[in-house]
């Protein structure tokens, strides 16, 4: 209970009572909302209520079932993100495009969620081609260092899931009409990197650097992270480096990189910043280098602006304004 004690005795007692009550009500990994309408785009929110035998959770892996497609996970501060792509069993329609492959597994890695606390892990996706009354199972592997807990048991048809020791989180599909939410504007971060428009925003010069095309993407209400992008051109003969970024509208701004290798997409924080070589141009864009706004005070809305301060090794501090475009970057 060392972590809880740092917040005071009163909070420690309250947290202990809450954790005890929560564990009694739900001891396994489960969905916050356990129903989803047919052919709807949803935010599937997994709840992780505790660690492994008192140990902190360091990795959460989620396998996505057939019928949950076009998945985009939400990044989490302090965690690395991996996305595994593969073939669907069927072909799905995505706004007229026939799609046969997509995300089949999501992994949040190298985190540290104390057994004293609870957290959620969110994946946006579409429930497609699934009959009402069907329950989709999302097997979860929870890792706590070398200790591994698998939440992957599924009751036989007509069986009672309450008797399972390690049940997989289930999402029950119910009948319902499509109310027009099947669009990428459900996503604050476009993980596929598709649909980015021409950059918006003013051009700023600092020494030999020219920064242009600054924009951010609109976010969902309540979403804690947002994405930002711009282009840096080094017109000089000396290398420079983007060291850090700050913004008054965000508790923290991190510099991230995304790359795909062997059908696995990884996102990691670049704590050493980004090198801007002499005579070169570096683009921060969806699906590649980008800014990650953490602890955003108010979700970015289309038409708003996001002020940021860029700190370069040689050019120093540079103020830039990002224009908030739609979630597709248009």
Report the pLDDT value the prediction gives residue 190, as an integer from 0 to 100.
Answer: 42
The bridge status of strand 68-73 relative to strand 147-151 is: unpaired
**Which residues does residue 223 pair with via DSSP β-bridges, in sequence order?**
none
pLDDT along the chain (330 residues), means of 10: 38 43 60 92 91 94 96 86 93 91 94 92 93 94 95 78 85 74 43 38 88 90 81 96 95 89 80 96 91 89 93 94 79
Structural domain ending residue among the three candidates 182, 213, 238: 182
Report the pLDDT value the prediction gives residue 86, as an integer from 0 to 100.
Answer: 94
Report the pLDDT value the prediction gives residue 3, as an integer from 0 to 100.
Answer: 38
Residue 17 sits in the same domain as residue 131: yes
Instruction: Supply the pTM of this predicted model.
Output: 0.60
**Residue 197 in domain:** no
SS3 25: helix
* CA nearest neighbour of 217 among 80, 329, 69: 329
**Residue 255 in domain:** yes
Domain with residue 13: its CATH number is 2.60.40.2230
Residue 253 sits in the same domain as residue 158: no
Report the pLDDT value the prediction gives residue 328, as an integer from 0 to 100.
Answer: 61
**Residue 193 in domain:** no
Residue 253 sits in the same domain as residue 146: no
Residue 32 sits in the same domain as residue 168: yes
Residue 243 sits in the same domain as residue 111: no
Residue 209 sits in the same domain as residue 177: no
Residue 210 sits in the same domain as residue 178: no
Residue 53 sits in the same domain as residue 166: yes
Q: How many domains, in total, are found in the chain?
A: 2
275 lies in which domain range? Answer: 204-325
User: Which residue blocks in the chain are alpha helix, DSSP H?
Assistant: 2-5, 9-25
**Residue 194 in domain:** no
Distance of CA 196 to CAs 96, 125, 192, 296, 330, Å? Answer: 18, 19, 10, 22, 7
Report the pLDDT value the prediction gives residue 75, as an integer from 0 to 100.
Answer: 84
Residue 24 sits in the same domain as residue 123: yes
Residue 174 sits in the same domain as residue 40: yes
**Residue 32 in domain:** yes
């Amino acid at each position: 209970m060392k972590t809880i004690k740092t917040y005071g005795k009163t909070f420690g007692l309250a947290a202990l009572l809450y954790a005890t009550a929560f564990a009694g009500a739900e001891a396994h990994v489960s969905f916050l909302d356990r129903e989803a309408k047919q052919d709807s785009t949803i935010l599937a929110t997994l709840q992780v209520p505790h660690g492994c035998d008192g140990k902190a959770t360091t990795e959460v892996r989620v396998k996505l079932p057939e019928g949950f497609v076009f998945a985009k996970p939400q990044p989490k501060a302090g965690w690395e993100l991996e996305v595994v792509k593969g073939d669907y069993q069927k072909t799905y329609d995505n706004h007229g495009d026939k799609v046969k492959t997509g995300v089949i597994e999501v992994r949040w890695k190298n985190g540290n969620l104390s057994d004293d606390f609870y957290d959620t892990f969110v994946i946006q996706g579409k429930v497609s081609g699934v009959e009402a009354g069907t329950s989709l199972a999302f097997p979860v592997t929870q890792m706590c260092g070398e200790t591994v807990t698998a939440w992957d048991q599924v009751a036989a048809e007509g069986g009672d899931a309450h008797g399972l020791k390690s049940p997989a989180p289930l999402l029950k599909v119910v009948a319902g009409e499509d109310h027009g939410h099947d669009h990428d504007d459900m996503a604050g971060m476009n993980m596929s990197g598709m649909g980015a428009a021409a950059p918006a925003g003013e051009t700023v010069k600092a020494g030999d650097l020219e920064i242009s095309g600054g924009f951010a993407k609109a976010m969902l209400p309540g979403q804690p992270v947002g994405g930002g992008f711009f282009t840096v051109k080094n017109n000089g003969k000396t290398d420079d480096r983007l060291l850090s970024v700050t913004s008054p509208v965000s508790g923290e701004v991190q510099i991230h990189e995304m790359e795909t290798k062997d059908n696995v997409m990884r996102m990691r924080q670049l704590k050493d910043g980004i090198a801007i070589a002499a005579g070169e141009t570096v683009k921060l864009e969806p699906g590649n280098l980008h800014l990650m706004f953490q602890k955003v005070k108010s979700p970015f809305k289309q038409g708003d602006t996001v002020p940021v301060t860029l700190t370069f090794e040689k050019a120093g501090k540079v103020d830039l304004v990002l224009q908030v475009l739609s979630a597709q970057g248009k």
